Amino acid sequence: MPTTIRLRIQRRDNINDKARWEVFEIPYRERMNVISALMEVRKNPKTVEGQKVSPPAWEAACLEEVCGSCTMNINGGVRQACTALVDQVGVVKGDAVEITLEPMHKFPLVRDLIVDRSKMFENLKQVKAWVPIDGSYDRGMAAPQDDHVRQLRYALSKCMTCGCCLEACPQINERSSFVGPQTLAQALLFNLHPVGATLEEDRLEALTGEDGITGCGNAQNCVKVCPKEVPLTLAIARLNRDTTVYKIRKWMGLTSSTHR
């Protein structure tokens, strides 16, 4: 039975600071997750060398894998820290459980384990990921929808903009402007909405640009790391077809005049 949890944390005070590693040890307790371990470190932030330091910075809100704010790299894999149980993700070495924590690398660093995920929300604006309305009054019952479509929309709606899929995607890098799988899936979600579909051509137009659907290399890493099991590869496959049909229709002059 382990007696100690050893956290090896990559730290930087800001984006221009050089990365450094600090190691902390806390008493082992059963059923701890990474966030609770970080909270213990915060009580007395002293390294194993006995140096008193500032407490590591991280983000967390819901603690039940809903908000997506605690995403980080844990022992080399991206995931949510709140559902990363020490007993499951840690590596036992002697009487200690060792865990290495790093921030996501595909986003601008704020401090320590905190990154700026703003580009994900900017990408959602780019594809108009919303339902346009012309008022808030009651318009009666919506049109019936096929149950298969409803189930797909529900699965797509579970995305919490955590960033796991972008972190795992090899097409997301400093040389690429690819918007990423999360944006593609959300574009499909709103294209399938009875009212959201009024902006479908605008979304497809955006996705046929240099940073759109053609940026996907079909690595399928995204769907493997998604904590909510969003059908990202299914969404990408469907949008590949939809954007192709859209481009053909546009070439034939069959789309709206907005994009001619």
pLDDT, tens digit (0-9, with 9 covering 90-100), for 143-152:
788 999 999 9
Superfamily per CATH, domain 4-111 = Beta-grasp domain (3.10.20.30)
Domain covering 117-259, topology: Fumarate Reductase Iron-sulfur Protein; Chain B, domain 2 (1.10.1060)
CA gap 35, 94 in Å, rounded: 23
CA gap 136, 72 in Å, rounded: 39
Q: What is the pLDDT of residue 18?
A: 95
Q: What is the pLDDT of residue 255?
A: 86
Helix (H, G, I), strand (E, B) or coil at 151: helix
Structure token digits, residue 99 = 């865990």
Q: What is the pLDDT of residue 103?
A: 98
Burial class, 158, CB count within 10 angstroms (exposed 0-12 / middle 13-18 / buried 19+): middle
Q: What is the pLDDT of residue 259?
A: 52
Q: What is the pLDDT of residue 145?
A: 83
The DSSP call for residue 33 is B
Backbone angles phi, psi at 236, to 5 degrees: -65, -40
What pTM was estimated for this model as a whole?
0.92
Chain centre to alpha carbon of residue 13: 23
Neighbouring CB atoms inside 10 A of 223's CB total 19
The DSSP call for residue 134 is S
CA gap 150, 43 in Å, rounded: 47
Q: Is 108 left (phi over 0), alpha (psi -120 to 50) or beta?
A: beta
Residue 66: which residues within 8 A CB-CB, separation 6 or more?
Answer: 160
Structure token digits, residue 240 = 């590949």
Structure token digits, residue 253 = 């002059």
Q: Could you state, in order of their start, the residue ranges of all structural domains in the chain?
A: 4-111, 117-259
CA gap 107, 115 in Å, rounded: 6
Helix (H, G, I), strand (E, B) or coil at 219: coil
Same fold, 4-111 and 117-259: no
Give every residue of the chain whose pLDDT is below 50, as ranges.
Answer: 260
Which residue, among 238, 160, 252, 158, has the nearest Cα to 204 in the 3D structure?
A: 238
Helix (H, G, I), strand (E, B) or coil at 9: strand
Structure token digits, residue 44 = 């007395």
Q: What is the pLDDT of residue 260?
A: 41
Helix (H, G, I), strand (E, B) or coil at 7: strand
